[in-house]
Amino acid sequence: MLALMLALTALQVAACVASAPDRLFGRVAEPGGPENRRSIAVTLPPDAPSITQAFWSNAPGDSRNPAKNSHKGIDIVAAPGTPIISPAPGKVAMVASDPMSGKRLAIDHGPDESGAPITTWYFHLDEQLVKKDDPIERGQQIGTVGATGLLAPFPHLHFEVHRNEGTEEAVNPHVYWIDGPGKVTCFDISRAWPREPFRATYPLPCRDTPWRR
């Protein structure tokens, strides 16, 4: 059992760790899982913080990999203390900390277009600036980027989208950008945004886009 736990931890570390990119903005990592590779073409604005690790997973039930090596979100690199902003309106569902993921929180956003409940998850935070049950608006700061937890060897945000309220059904965040699948959308405070159904803006500010007054 101990050997299995150590192996699973090693797989998780390998999935979440990526070397810092040459550029901190406008760069998108290739998916690592073979069946996810190039499944969604991603366009990242040049002023958006770079994605260093993509969402990917092995095929369900793969007998060659019972640990289900996967990366259930995207890693976004940024300097320590960079604001983390909510990608949509909602309510804080959880604020917690653990040795692997560090400081983390989750936001309940209500249903997507199919009626499925959506939550977003945030890991490795330096600061958590909200508490459970707080109402949240799109673009509101909820925390800061850090490197807390054993899975964060350098400062970054690990961002996940979960459907049907279950922590096991992580879906590719690139499906849910508000301008369309794969079209990463920077939050802009001057733009009018629909409140529902759930569609996401980028959870970090883009450097050339006004995100707060």
CATH number for the domain harbouring residue 149: 2.70.70.10
Q: What is the pLDDT of residues 96-130, one digit of tens each?
A: 999 999 999 999 999 999 999 999 999 999 999 99
Cβ-contact 205, 83 below 8 angstroms: yes
Structural domains counted in the chain: 1
197: cis peptide before it, omega within 30°?
Answer: yes
Q: Is residue 183 a part of any domain in this protein? A: no
What's the Cα-to-Cα distance from 58 to each of 72, 123, 156, rounded to whole Å?
A: 11, 22, 23
Q: Is residue 202 a part of any domain in this protein? A: no
Q: Is residue 212 a part of any domain in this protein? A: no
Q: What is the pLDDT of residues 13-40, one digit of tens each?
A: 444 544 444 468 989 876 655 445 446 8
Q: Which domain holds residue 80?
A: 2-175
Q: What is the pLDDT of residues 128-168, one digit of tens each?
A: 999 999 999 999 999 999 999 998 889 999 999 999 855 55
Burial class, 13, CB count within 10 angstroms (exposed 0-12 / middle 13-18 / buried 19+): middle
- Average pLDDT of the residues in 85-89: 98
Q: Is residue 113 a part of any domain in this protein? A: yes
Q: Is residue 160 a part of any domain in this protein? A: yes
| Residue 93: HSE in the Cβ half-sphere, 13 Å Cα cutoff | 18
Q: Is residue 205 a part of any domain in this protein? A: no
Q: Which residues lie below 8 Å from residue 3, measured CB to CB, with a gap of 6+?
A: none
Q: What is the pLDDT of residue 3?
A: 41
Report how far residue 116's alpha carbon sits from residue 64's, in angstroms, rounded to the nearest whole number. 31
Instruction: Tell me the pairing of strands 90-98 and 70-71.
Output: unpaired
Report how far residue 194's alpha carbon sits from residue 164's, in angstroms, rounded to the nearest whole number. 21
To which residue do tokens 């629909």 refer? 194
Q: What is the pLDDT of residue 69?
A: 67
Rg (CA), the chain: 16
Report how far residue 174's alpha carbon sits from residue 79's, in angstroms, rounded to the nearest whole number. 23
Report how far residue 21's alpha carbon sits from residue 50's, in angstroms, rounded to the nearest whole number. 8
Q: What is the DSSP string of 92-108?
A: EEEEEEETTTEEEEEEE
Q: Is residue 211 a part of any domain in this protein? A: no
Q: Is residue 206 a part of any domain in this protein? A: no
